[in-house]
Structure 1
Amino acid sequence: MLKSMLGCCKVYISESRNRKALESIERAARLIPEAPIINKFEDDTYNRVGYTLVSKLSPEPSSSSSSSSCPLRNAVFSMAVFSMVRAAVESIDLEMHSGSHPRLGVVDHVCFHPLLSASLDQASTIAKSLAADVSHALQVPTFLYGAAHEEGRTLDAIRRELGYFKPNSSGNQWSGGLKSETLALKPDEGPAQVPPTKGVIVIGATQWVDNYNIPVFSTDISVVRRIAKRVSGRRGGLPSVQAMALKHGETVIEVACNLLEPNKVGGERVQLEVERLAKEEGVAVGKGYFTDLSQEKIIESYLKLDSFM
């Protein structure tokens, strides 16, 4: 059934304090009601906002399909996200941006996820279509990852190459974008030079990912970095968990986690592990939080909204 084939797109924009810019981005999204914003998560300290959009998808055309079978809904989904990206690039100057969350560009990261009976191939096709449009129409260097990249390159691999995890300003803050116009990694699409006001964009397609942040009540970033490294699967911690320490106000540093396989290692398990490690370090931990609705809640919210459309 077509109705059971849904796609989700998460759009992370490096801005939360410029209300006019956010209004412009959301106005652009409303122009294409077939792909509504289901959730919005803002963080003023990080100066970052995440939007979650959902759309019905059409099946990928088979080799025997006629041209009339083209997946028009998928093109509309790509167009909806492109409209938001264009509005963001036109209304935000990355050189004026600062916050305690890293970023590579005005639109830092876009990821497509298949929902219900949709496939990862469908999500990757939309991601690649969006990358082509963004890179050529907006002249933004564009990197692909996950199923959208021919070798399945990961998001964190791109970020490491481009220096995403190293603060570029004082006090563990990030200001502006990349400090060099020359990229350490060749973009998959678009120009090789970085426009300082726009930065670069990373676009991918993966199975569902949860983001879970846990506040640690400490002012010592080195302590929380140790905890984050020990939690991260890359350092022998919890499998499929990526973690980093981010300053979040004057007295809190968060262990910010990507849960790549949340059905296997979810927020509750990560919470317990951070609490255990924090106790060893002699620091207190608060209750963590997800930065988006659950996959099930997003589907439920969309289907409820769709019944009125």
Structure 2
Amino acid sequence: MNKQLIECVPNISEGKNIDKINKIAHEVETVEGVKLLDVDPGKATNRTVITFVGEPKNVIEAAFRLIKKAAELIDMSKHTGEHPRFGATDVCPLVPIAGITMEETAKYAHQLGKRIGKELGIPGYFYENAATEEKRKNLASCRAGEYEGLKEKLVNPDWKPDFGPAKFTANIAKTGAIAISARDFLIAYNVNLNSTSTRRANAIAFDIREAGRIKREGNSATGKKVVDKSGNPVKIPGKLKAVKGIGWFIEEYGIAQISYNLTNINITSMHLAFDETVKAADKRGLRVTGSELIGLIPLQAMLDAGDYFLKKQQRSLGISEAEKIKIAVKSLGLDDLKPFNPDEKIIEYLLKDDTKKLVDLTVSNFSEETAGESMAPGGGSIAAYVGTLGVSLGTMVANLSAHKAGWDDKWEYFSEWAVKGQAYKNKLLYLVDEDTNAFNKIIDGFRMPKKTDEEKLIRKNAIEEATKYATEIPFQVMETSYNSMEVMKEMCYNGLQNSLSDAGVGILCAKTAVTGAYFNVRINAKDIKDRIFAENIIKKATDIYHKTISIEKEIMEYIDSKM
């Protein structure tokens, strides 16, 4: 269900020739499953930042093709530009976005580097979280001497490349070297002030950013700098780690902003930077009016912001993803200067699969699709959807209970139940489509060729595996719907009693989902040739079915006693 996603942000040493830039960037789009998000050329630096994202293996392939094309089209022996550089593709950082750790991302960085060295003959260094030794963690150290110093650097034993040739060949004279890393996601984030003063915006930036400000005598902005024994300025550190910041005036909007780079959102999140800026601004007689996100953001960062502000309001966290994002946008004022469109700013939304899904249909269209001549969606998908409706009712009661006047001391308790309900709901929504997908796999199996003995065997095995999967999916519907009954049961006994009937309908829906999915498990299992597998899953399904009947009976008797 959860894809692994990484972002790749190669910087190429060409910012003027748009034709070359487009040819290099286009290489990314030749790899299926990779989405090119941004191409940002800079003429003065003669450098272009390219951003794309996708599943790890696809991203690595796209990065390799881009680096290969850059090596063909860019001649470093003729390159000039203001930005430090030493290669046609100067740096190539990989950033974990979803479902993948930094350690795993670093392994992909190493795979990419080794392939570049072996197949393209380009030398390079691993830096930051992919570094092979401490002194190579800093990009500035790896790139010291730049292209002009590369000839001496490559033969220096202390700076032998991590991959590729350790000598300055004619090929390397053209391509230069490359630095590859795994690093944290960086968010460029501006906070808006009700002021035009750059000086006051800077003062707030110095309060917040990790580097802080230079200490001065008398703590005055005009006082003499305080230095240490070595003559270096003494710094007063800022409040937040992994934050860089500066104040500036934006003529387009007519306001001052604090411009932040949040270099590790696992250390300092966007919402924490915002809240601390609000406090610092208030102390200086200023007011934060909103904020501005530059570039893209991972979905989880937005959901975390929504949760943060919901907790401050003592409201349930068990609401939908869309509602959490609305809370985040309004709380951070991300729409203060211009409309904020989550579909254009959240990385995962930009990568949404355009494949038609049942759960994306309207209620009426879903019913029409079911009523049509096609065999799918059938009973399995409908059972999963009925289960979704059931736990949605239980979750609703939990959210209403969390918001009930006089129950303020219980909001966290009900919030936890609502969060559980949302998790069950999301799993069942996934199973609505997956049951239809599983059925289609069986149909695909029957359509396979069967002319030769080998083809017949392959076809037979494919049908068997597809039938097993088509039995496992409704079993998951049974299991999830049964487990979800805990939410409705808890709400019946301890939730808002005015919504007792809602929780009861939720129980009935869950029971229907379990029963319907039970039918599907049994009818599919009878065609499975592996009888040990079939009998085992039927036994487990029967156990869940009887437990479900027992819970339904208990809750119906309880509701009757309260009516």
What does the per-residue CA deviation read over 1:189-223, in whole Å, with 9 as the maximum and x for residues that have no partner?
1112342322211111122123579xxxxxxxxxx
What does the per-residue CA deviation read over 1:139-198, in whole Å, with 9 as the maximum and x for residues that have no partner?
21111123323446665x24235426xxxxxxxxxxx83334111522111112342322
Give the deviation of 1:290 after TM superposition.
Answer: 7.2
| C-alpha distance in structure 1 between counterparts of 2:181 and 2:142, whole Å | 16
Superposition pairs of residues 292-303 of structure 1, within 5 angstroms = 292-296=295-299, 297-303=346-352
Of all paired residues, the percent bearing the same amino acid is 23
| Kept in 2: contact 1:89–1:107 (CA 8 A) | yes
Are 2:148 and 1:178 aligned?
Answer: yes
Judged with a 3 Å threshold, the aligned counterparts in structure 2 of structure 1 residues 27 and 4 are, in CA distance, closer, same or farther, namely: closer
Are 2:98 and 1:116 aligned?
Answer: yes
Structure with larger Rg: 2
Aligned counterpart for 2:177 among listed residues 183, 200, 217:
200
| Kept in 1: contact 2:10–2:50 (CA 8 A) | yes
| C-alpha distance in structure 1 between counterparts of 2:210 and 2:149, whole Å | 27
| Kept in 2: contact 1:17–1:47 (CA 8 A) | yes
What does the per-residue CA deviation read over 1:102-149, in whole Å, with 9 as the maximum and x for residues that have no partner?
212111111111122222232112111110111122221111123323
5+ residue gaps in structure 2? 191-204, 213-234, 247-258, 282-290, 300-345, 357-563
| C-alpha distance in structure 1 between counterparts of 2:292 and 2:74, whole Å | 28
Are 2:211 and 1:209 aligned?
Answer: no
Partner of residue 144, structure 2 = 163
Judged with a 3 Å threshold, the aligned counterparts in structure 2 of structure 1 residues 26 and 161 are, in CA distance, closer, same or farther, namely: closer
| C-alpha distance in structure 1 between counterparts of 2:178 and 2:127, whole Å | 11
Give the deviation of 1:91 after TM superposition.
Answer: 0.2
Partner of residue 107, structure 2 = 125
Q: What's the TM-score, normalizing by structure 2?
A: 0.37
| Kept in 1: contact 2:25–2:39 (CA 8 A) | no
Judged with a 3 Å threshold, the aligned counterparts in structure 2 of structure 1 residues 45 and 295 are, in CA distance, closer, same or farther, namely: farther
Aligned-residue RMSD, C-alpha: 4.0
Partner of residue 162, structure 2 = 188
Give the deviation of 1:86 after TM superposition.
Answer: 0.3
Partner of residue 12, structure 2 = 13
Moved more, 127-136 or 146-155: 146-155
Are 2:298 and 1:261 aligned?
Answer: no
**Greater helix content:** 2
Are 2:34 and 1:35 aligned?
Answer: yes
| Kept in 1: contact 2:11–2:48 (CA 8 A) | yes
Alignment length (residue pairs): 245
5+ residue gaps in structure 1? 58-73, 165-175, 214-226, 245-255, 277-287
Q: Secondary structure at the match of 1:36?
A: strand
| Kept in 2: contact 1:135–1:189 (CA 8 A) | yes
| Kept in 2: contact 1:120–1:147 (CA 8 A) | yes
| Kept in 2: contact 1:178–1:199 (CA 8 A) | no
Give the deviation of 1:97 after TM superposition.
Answer: 1.9
Give the structure, 1 or 2, with the largest relative contact order (CA under 8 Å, sep 6 or more): 1
Give the deviation of 1:257 after TM superposition.
Answer: 7.8
| Kept in 2: contact 1:233–1:240 (CA 8 A) | no
